[in-house]
């Protein structure tokens, strides 16, 4: 790192962003005017430059400051830039010409976007020609090109852009803990004490698996949260609940259960795979759902918790259950799985099975820094040209009973 890079880094560390005060109207107006005159004149006609100067005049800046919508970024007493928000839109972002390309605009945009996504799921911006590439690199996508007529028949050309995906702060999105706390308190219980008493591990069982476990009569419905937790009579740290269907349902249930104090969730469900009756213990899911992206995870794959998956694998092996280990595919399209074998099974991805919930659970576990994994019983097979259903077959029934017995004895 040379001296100039070091000094630039130090400057960014010393930058402060605050809401603008009314007595800063003149200096903000100077920053805006100076930038428009020097930068925009390289891209636009004089008429367009004059249009921008009038659009962002002293009175309009004063009005936005008065409404609490304008921010300034400064280093010490020197104002280096400004930006304004209007609902879910960012406007009037300017950094003085002699301080551009120093990270100032980036830090300012980080702040403005953070304010907007407290209340909105995306940010809009009208980008002038010199700013389009800057916004594109920040993840803004072009919605459409637009033009506006100005004086003397000249046209202002600009880009209408939108950014949809942001890093999300779990601490800020605390609705699950707030709602679960209220739910517990309405039952006349102390929430903090409640969190210490719920089972550390809860199995989320698909419908018929839940019914099979319930029929064993080895647990008691003890906690009215997340659909109801049955606590094992022989081990108060273990429980089970009926798992919700599809990624959004299971994700919501996981939010509630983690908020209530559960540390480990293990989904136990059914899947389409190679051989009916096989067990697939998953290292994570290739994601074909909306939940993962909405929580800010942008990769194709979302992992289960490795140490929990490893330890659960050893537990099952001690009980004589051997699992296929690897990644599987979670999709929202339960009845629309076009060429899934070609996409996931017979190609390099090598998905071990396909189901509809896992990615939702793993998303919440990763987001909330909790633990989760899943095991699937292959109930139908796509290994042949025709899809084969295993329901009612002795092979599937034997696998179900063996797995439930193993979980009940843990």
Delineate the domains of the chain, giving CATH numbers in brackets.
Answer: 3-163 (3.40.630.30), 175-408 (3.40.50.1580)
155-163 mean pLDDT:
95
Q: What is the percent of the chain with per-residue pLDDT over 90, rounded to a whole number?
A: 78
3 state DSSP class of 243: coil
Residue 93 CA to residue 131 CA, distance in Å, equals: 10
Q: β-strand 354-355 against 123-127: which pairing, if any? A: unpaired
- Top pLDDT among 19 and 295 is at 19
**Residue owning tokens 């939940």:** 291
Residue 278 CA to residue 214 CA, distance in Å, equals: 23
Does the pLDDT of residue 64 top 50, yes or no? yes
Over residues 38-62, the pLDDT tens digits come to 999 999 999 999 999 999 999 999 9
Count of other CB atoms within 10 angstroms of residue 63: 13
Does the pLDDT of residue 347 top 80, yes or no? no
User: In terms of pTM, does the model score above 0.85?
Assistant: no
Buried b / exposed e along 253-292 (16+ C-beta atoms within 10 A): bbbbbbbbbbbbbbbbbbbbbeebbbbbbbbbbbbbbebb
Question: E strands, 224-333, where?
Answer: 229-232, 235-242, 264-273, 279-288, 301-303, 324-331
- Top pLDDT among 336 and 48 is at 48
Q: What is the percent of the chain with per-residue pLDDT over 70, rounded to a whole number?
A: 92
Q: How confident is the model at residue 340 (pLDDT cuts 50, 70, 90)?
A: low
pLDDT of 47 reads: 97
Which class for 53: exposed (0-12), middle (13-18), buried (19 or more C-beta within 10 A)?
middle
| Weakest-pLDDT range from 184-193, 318-327, 346-355 | 346-355
Over residues 250-285, the pLDDT tens digits come to 999 999 999 999 999 999 999 988 899 999 999 999
DSSP string, 328-372: EEEES-SS--TTHIIIIISSTT----EESSHHHHHHHHHHTT-EE
169-173 mean pLDDT:
81
Over residues 358-382, the pLDDT tens digits come to 999 999 999 999 999 999 999 988 6
| Weakest-pLDDT range from 169-173, 303-307, 390-394 | 169-173
Does the pLDDT of residue 1 top 70, yes or no? no
Q: How confident is the model at residue 346 (pLDDT cuts 50, 70, 90)?
A: very low
CA 84 to centroid of chain Cα atoms: 26
96-103 mean pLDDT:
93
Nearest to 202 by CA among 377, 400, 378, 365: 365
CA torsion through residues 37, 41, 47, 48, sign: negative
pLDDT of 293 reads: 85
Computed over every residue of the chain, the mean pLDDT equals 91
Residue 377 CA to residue 322 CA, distance in Å, equals: 12
Over residues 193-242, the pLDDT tens digits come to 999 999 999 999 999 999 999 999 999 999 999 999 999 999 999 999 99
Nearest to 259 by CA among 178, 203, 201: 178
Residue 351 CA to residue 358 CA, distance in Å, equals: 13
pLDDT of 11 reads: 55
**DSSP assigned state of 281:** E
Contact 351, 344 (CB under 8 A): yes
Over residues 234-249, the pLDDT tens digits come to 999 999 999 999 999 9
Determine the straight-line distance between the first and last CA of the chain, rounded to whole angstroms. 56
């Amino acid at each position: 790192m040379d001296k100039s890079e070091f000094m630039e880094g130090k400057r960014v560390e010393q930058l402060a962003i605050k809401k603008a005060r009314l007595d800063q109207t003149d200096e903000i107006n100077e920053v805006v005017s100076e930038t428009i005159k020097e930068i925009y004149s390289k891209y636009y006609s004089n008429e367009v430059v004059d249009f921008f100067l009038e659009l962002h005049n002293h009175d309009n800046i004063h009005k936005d400051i008065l409404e609490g919508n304008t921010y300034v970024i400064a280093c010490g007493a020197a104002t280096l830039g400004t930006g304004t928000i209007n609902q879910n839109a960012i406007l009037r972002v300017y950094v003085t010409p002699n301080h551009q390309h120093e990270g100032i605009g980036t830090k300012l945009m980080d702040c403005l976007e953070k304010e907007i996504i407290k209340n909105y799921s995306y940010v809009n911006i009208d980008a002038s020609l010199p700013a389009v590439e800057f916004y594109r690199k920040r993840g803004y996508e072009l919605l459409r090109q637009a033009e506006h007529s100005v004086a003397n028949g000249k046209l202002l050309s600009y880009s209408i852009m939108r950014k949809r995906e942001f890093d999300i702060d779990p601490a800020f999105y605390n609705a699950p803990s707030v709602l679960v706390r209220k739910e517990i308190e309405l039952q006349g219980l102390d929430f903090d004490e409640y969190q210490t008493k719920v089972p550390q591990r809860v199995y989320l069982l698909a419908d018929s698996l839940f019914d099979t476990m319930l029929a064993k009569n080895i647990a008691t419905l003890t906690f009215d949260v997340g659909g109801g937790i049955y606590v094992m009579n022989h081990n108060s740290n273990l429980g089970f609940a009926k798992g919700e269907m599809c990624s959004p349902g299971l994700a919501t249930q996981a939010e509630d259960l983690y908020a209530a104090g559960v540390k480990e969730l293990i989904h136990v469900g059914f899947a389409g795979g190679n051989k009916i009756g096989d067990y697939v213990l998953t290292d994570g899911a290739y994601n074909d759902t909306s939940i993962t992206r909405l929580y800010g995870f942008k990769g194709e794959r979302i992992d289960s918790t490795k140490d929990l998956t490893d330890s659960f694998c050893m537990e099952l092996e001690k009980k004589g259950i051997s699992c296929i280990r690897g990644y599987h595919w979670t999709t929202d399209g339960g009845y629309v799985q076009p060429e899934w074998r070609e996409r996931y099974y017979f190609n390099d991805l090598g998905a071990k099975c396909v189901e509809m919930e896992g990615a939702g659970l793993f998303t919440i576990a990763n987001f909330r820094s909790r633990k989760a994994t899943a095991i699937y019983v292959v109930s139908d097979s796509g290994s042949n040209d025709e899809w084969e259903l295993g329901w009612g077959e002795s092979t599937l029934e034997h696998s179900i009973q063996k797995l439930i017995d193993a979980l009940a004895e843990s």
